[in-house]
Structure 1
Amino acid sequence: MGKNIAVHSYKGGTGKTSLSVNLAATFVKQGKKVALFDLDFRAPSIFTILKCEKTKIWLNDYLNGICKIDDILLDVSERIPNAGKFYVGPANPSTSAMRDMTTKDRKWETHAFDRVLALRKNLIKEQKFDYIIFDTSPGLQYSSMNAIVAADFV
């Protein structure tokens, strides 16, 4: 059965994203099927770090309930040849999207938590992912707390 890992720190600039990307790559090199999600909505960077192809659908859209999880997963497996499968769920890096995510209320965050739990169930139980890794925002943001509560390891 697959595992969820949340990479978190209360302070920014501690290497959460670097650790998340390298942890995911390590598991992929071991032949595992891995999904890496950018829950750092205040400073999303996985899209840029992994030089992903442009997309019109983001993790933000999934959490807003306007698409399915499969719609946002980008297959970046070719980055690590002769290995497992590597998927990324990037957050929208636009300034307007970052601003929008900071204005969400508790009701929205509760709905987003339900979506994170559904994501976990879908990817682990139905799609047989070995690992889901959440790169979180620093501090006590709702999105970070949602990832921490949904994770098997933090």
Structure 2
Amino acid sequence: MATGIFYPTYLANSGLKTNIFKIHPRSLWIVGVVVIFSTLVKIGAVMLPASYFDVPLRQAFVLGLILNSKGITELVLTDQEFFALVMISVVLITAVVTPLIRYLYDPSKQYAVMRRSTIQHLKRESELTILACIHNQENVPTFINVLEVSNAT
């Protein structure tokens, strides 16, 4: 209920309250520099311990991006100019971080080895291991037939 109703409602309400015409160009530049600098420092702060613990740099960078994306806590400000600046920075960081994470991190790659673990892809001299579960007496003849066909030793 929180992620399906309350969060989108809060974001829509915040978007409607955002008045980008209240932003002065100088403050936009200052906030942009602060956001870029803080982003780089946070990513570096994640990558440094990760390199010490032998985490691959690509995964450490993705973790830094994930931890760097802002939440909604920054939006609790009173001034309309600061509210609009923070709202824009949240939207921009989310718009940049999400495609980067999808491009850099593919969790299915770690399971790529499992794709070729079939009987067809086994080498001739390798051992075939079979795990069978017998629930009742009716399953025993089928399992015995599998053992006979496989020429088990």
TM-score (structure 2 length as normaliser): 0.25
Structure possessing the higher relative contact order (Cα contacts under 8 Å, 6 or more residues apart): 1
TM-score (structure 1 length as normaliser): 0.25
Normalized per residue, which structure has more strand? 1
Normalized per residue, which structure has more helix? 2
